[in-house]
Amino acid sequence: MRTPSSVAAPKAAEPAPPPATTPDEARRREHHAAQERKGQVHWTDSLSWAGERARQILLLLVLAAVLVYGLLKVTLVVIPVLLALILAAATTPLVRWLRHRGWRETPATTGTFLALIAVFAGVVAGVVLTIRSEWSTLAERASRRFDELAAVLQDGPLPVDEASLENLGTAARDFATSSAAGGRATDSLFVATELLTGFILMAVVLFFLLKDGHRIWAFCLIPFRGRQRAKMRLAGMAGIDVLGGYVRGTAIVALVDAVLIGAALFVLQVPLAAPLAVVVFVGAFIPLIGATAAGVLAAVVALVANGPVVALIVAAVVVLVNQLEGNLLQPVVMGKTLSVHPLVILLALTAGTVLAGIIGAILSVPLTAVAWAIAKIWIGDRFGARASAAGADG
């Protein structure tokens, strides 16, 4: 007969294992426990977490506003440095290719730098000489075209004040035939000095970025250690790859657009064909609206100088080239370099134009693409951990 003491006591139920948590939740709980030990936590619900995040976001917005305000005060330094960085990212593969072909570092850098300066100087000189030689022809044709338009309006069914037309025509002729119309910007000593200073600064920064870019980046990585240093190095490589790929791809597309539209303007004998081709090239660096705006300008010049038939032909050529660019050149040349939603591009264009005009519109999109590439690398492990946790829960 068993005694009560000999009967085995039932085993106590084992505690249930704690629920699985993601790495972000574990870090947040550890941080919260550390703050509790220090007596720094007064709220323990989700409201306190939301309030803390709101405070951090407001602080970041204030810092960003102060940074943008400060940069806008030194645009003479910021814009040349950004342009030099973009050109360096686009031409670094050429320097590497020359070095692999046996060139030393200094000759490879100097050769690439001098080639860029020569191309830029040649384009500027060609545009200036063309404008000076063909501006008078364009002004004469514009004056004659306005007289024809005024005659059509006076003979038309709509009542038009002849005195108003005469005053408008006189003002247009004075502007077109004045010596200041073709060189108003270059006649300003202040503007010329700013342009020259910015160009010299850009050239100097570009040379040192081509020559010592890797050393400069290594110096910027000194404050970081371990995992943060590795992520910074990877983010920098991704940013340079995206920036260089975007600039090189866009330059190829812009060159094709400029050659095709410029050739059409030359065949149709439209004045200022070369400067308009340069405008088309620059406009291609402004997504969504740049190519269209440049084409409209070319059609307007053709309308004023050569009449409506030539203008319609130019407009048709512009539409055809834009279709070729969007359906063939962009997918083949650019690929997935610019993996940014069109809405983000539109917002970046608007912000860049408001802050820095045309230069801001040109720089805003590549800088946005670089920022997105860096952000994906910097926070990619967190997204990956959350995705893994979500897949495990499902």
Task: Say what the pLDDT of residue 152 is.
Answer: 60
User: Would the pLDDT of 82 be above 70?
Assistant: yes
pLDDT of the residue at 335: 59
CA 394 vs. chain centroid, Å, equals 40
Lowest mean pLDDT among 34-38, 171-175, 215-219, 387-391: 387-391
Give me the percent of the chain exceeding a pLDDT of 70.
71
**Mean pLDDT along residues 68-81:** 80
Give the pLDDT confidence of 61-70 residue by residue, as tens digits: 888 888 878 8
Check if the beta carbon of residue 329 is closer than 8 Å to that of residue 253. yes
| Among 27-41, 124-138, 218-232, the range of highest mean pLDDT | 218-232
Q: Is the pLDDT of residue 299 over 80?
A: yes
Query: What local confidence, expressed as pLDDT, does residue 165 receive?
Result: 54
Q: Give the pLDDT band (50/70/90) at residue 387.
A: very low
pLDDT class of 316 with cuts at 50, 70, 90: very high
For residue 153, name the pLDDT band (cuts at 50, 70, 90): low
Average pLDDT, integer, range 27-39: 63
Q: How far is CA 183 from CA 78, 87, 140, 276, 284, in A?
A: 26, 28, 17, 16, 24
pLDDT digits 0-9 by tens, 324-356: 877 777 777 665 566 677 787 788 888 888 877
Contacts of 283 (CB under 8 A, 6+ apart): 254, 290, 291, 293, 294
The answer to whether the pTM exceeds 0.75 is: no
For residue 167, give the amino acid letter.
Answer: N
Q: Which residue has the higher pLDDT, 346 or 255?
A: 255
User: Which residue ranges make up each domain of the chain?
Assistant: 74-220
